[in-house]
Every structure is written in C-alpha cells, then in structure tokens.
Amino acid sequence: MEKLFETWSLDREIVLVKLLNHPREKVFAAWMDPKALAQWYGPAGLAIESHAADIREGGVWHFDMVGVFEGKQQRFPNLMRFLEIVPNERIVMDYGTPASEDPDRFRVTVTFDEQGDGKTVLTMRQLHPSAKRRQEVIGFGAVEYGLQTLDGLAAWLDR
C-alpha cells in the first residue's frame, strides 16, 4: 500500500478547504481530543460510535458512522491510522475500513494554516489509490460529505 502514496497525482486527489474563525491551536486540538472528534466528525445526520481512539503517531481511531442512509439504519466501519502528527501544523493518516487489506484505503493530509487574524485555513487532501476510485467516491458524495464534516468542525468550534 505504501507504494501507492510515494507520488502525488492530481487525478487521484480530492482537496477540501475551510476557513475557520479560530486560531490553529484550537482547531488542531479539536482533532487531538477523541471525545471532541466523535462529536463533530462525519457527514450531517450520522453519529460516531468510537471503539478505540489512540490519537498519536502510530495510533488508530476505530469508529463507526451510524445513521439512516438510503432509507434504512446503517453502520459504516472506519479506521484511521495516524502516520504523522506535527502539532498545530499537519496530520497525516491512512483512512479506510478496519479490514487489514482494504484496497480502497486512502491517504489524508490535514494542514492548519494560521492567518494571523485568529483564523485558520484547514486543508484536507485525500489521495486515493487510483483515478477510478477517486471518481467512485466523488460519485457517492465524498466531496459533499467531507464539506459537511468541516462544517461540523466549524459549528463545534463556534460553540
């Protein structure tokens, strides 16, 4: 799997950006606190059930997104493996299902850019294993769901 991520390719990439009205230390802290993360993370209408949260380099967050989807109650298992954490600057993780050989696992890089006015630009870059897989996830709403996740972060921070 590592070989897939050695080069960055625009035809495999999804980039989401959100301007947040909070300093980057506060935004970064929302990612590092497992209880906070479970409150704001995920698309609108889905709840997070956290099974294990070890948010550090080498740690994992194993959780389910749960809610009504396409008219019925559904559960979506997720696993983030944290590869690099640079406080207040960057988080790099592999994201997929808990399956050890998940062929659709993708790399996520989140950066926190302080704007000098107490605001932060959060950029979330996803690198999918193939251009085809990128198109598939765009097709099922990954961009909209990702933006809903960032909106959830903004709302949580504003509380």
Q: What is the mean predicted confidence (pLDDT) over 73-78?
A: 95
User: Which CATH number do you get for residue 111?
Assistant: 3.30.530.20
Domain that holds residue 73: 2-158
Confidence of residue 70 (pLDDT cuts 50, 70, 90): confident
Which of 36, 68, 74 is closest to 152 using CA atoms? 36
Strands in the chain per DSSP E = 13-20, 47-53, 60-69, 72-86, 90-96, 106-114, 120-127
Q: Measured at the alpha carbon of residue 16, what is the angle toward residues 146 and 89, in degrees to the nearest 5?
A: 110
CB of 131 within 8 A of CB of 19? no
Q: What is the mean predicted confidence (pLDDT) over 42-65?
A: 97
Of all residues in the chain, what percent carry a pLDDT higher than 90? 90
How far is 106 from 113, CA to CA, in rounded Å? 23
pLDDT over 90 (residue 127): yes
Confidence of residue 1 (pLDDT cuts 50, 70, 90): very low
Domains held by the chain: number: 1
